[in-house]
């Protein structure tokens, strides 16, 4: 995979970030799920879920796919929420700063076509319900990226596993001098953890 140079630069930076023990314990559940699917030679479907599917779940879908590609592990990476809003423009701006090629289609809840390489199909990113037709409806892991969705969705129909991997919401810094910095920090945190997860997978 010929990653765009700036994307690859950020991958290398993210690989060097420390993953503390308490987070390793959280991520181990996801690692075990993926490894089991690999061992059974089954398709890996990951659906990253947050309430509005606007920030953290979008970052996770994108970096989950990138990290898997980087480590040579085939997955389907999805995202969704419990309310439809839009892929937040601040989060879009952040992934652009990370070197992704992003094009846009539509104005109300637009679809963003996110590329990390000229060799790859784009990740189609937009806000949607977790059961949207764009996502698989069965045989997936529901990865809960925010506390609100995790605490208010007692069950996710079709999910064969439910794995909380929560992140702090960069929304708290909207319209402040720290906005760009905190969105980039959250994106980098998610990148580092997704890269860690896939680095631990033993390919059959």
pLDDT in tens, 111-147: 999 999 999 999 999 999 999 999 999 999 999 999 8
Q: What is the 3-state secondary structure (H, E, C) of 158-177?
A: CEEEEEECCCCCHHHHCCCC
| Average pLDDT, integer, range 144-157 | 83
- Tell the residue number behind the tokens 């959280």, with chain if given: 26
49 close to 156: Cβ distance less than 8 angstroms = yes
Whole-number Å distance between alpha carbons of 20 and 44: 26
Mean pLDDT of the chain: 96
What's domain 5-169+178-199's architecture?
3-Layer(aba) Sandwich (3.40)
Report long-range pairs for 177-183 (Cβ below 8 Å, ≥24 apart): 179/90, 180/90, 180/93, 180/94, 180/97, 183/55, 183/90, 183/91, 183/93, 183/94
pLDDT for 151 beyond 80: no
7 band by pLDDT with thresholds 50, 70 and 90: very high
pLDDT tens string 92-117:
999 999 999 999 999 999 999 999 99
Please give the torsion angle defined by the CA atoms of residues 23, 28, 33 and 34, in that order, rounded to the nearest 10 degrees.
Answer: 90
pLDDT band of 170, cuts 50, 70, 90:
very high
| pLDDT category of residue 1 using cuts at 50, 70 and 90 | confident
Global pTM exceeds 0.95: yes
pLDDT at residue 73 in the model: 97
**Angstrom distance (rounded) from CA 133 to CA 51:** 18
User: Are 185 and 165 contacting, i.e. CB atoms less than 8 angstroms apart?
Assistant: no
- Alpha carbon distance 176, 49 (integer Å): 26
């Amino acid at each position: 995979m010929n990653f765009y140079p700036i994307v690859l630069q950020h991958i290398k930076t993210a690989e060097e970030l420390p993953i503390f023990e308490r987070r390793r314990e959280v991520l181990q559940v996801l690692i075990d799920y993926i490894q089991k699917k690999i061992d059974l030679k089954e398709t890996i479907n990951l659906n990253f879920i947050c309430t509005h599917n606007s920030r953290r779940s979008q970052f996770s879908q994108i970096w989950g796919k990138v990290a898997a590609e980087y480590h040579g592990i085939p997955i389907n990476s999805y995202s969704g929420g419990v309310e439809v809003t839009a892929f937040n423009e601040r989060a879009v701006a952040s992934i652009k700063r990370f070197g992704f090629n992003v094009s846009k289609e539509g104005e109300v809840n637009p679809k963003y076509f996110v590329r990390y390489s000229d060799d790859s199909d784009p990740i189609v990113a937009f806000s949607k319900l977790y059961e949207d037709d764009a996502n698989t409806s069965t045989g997936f892991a529901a990865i809960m990226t925010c506390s609100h969705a995790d605490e208010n969705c007692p069950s996710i129909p079709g999910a064969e596993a439910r794995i909380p991997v929560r992140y702090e919401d960069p929304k708290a810094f909207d319209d402040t001098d720290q906005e760009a910095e905190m969105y980039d920090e959250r994106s980098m945190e998610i990148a580092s953890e997704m890269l860690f997860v896939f680095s631990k997978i033993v390919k059959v």
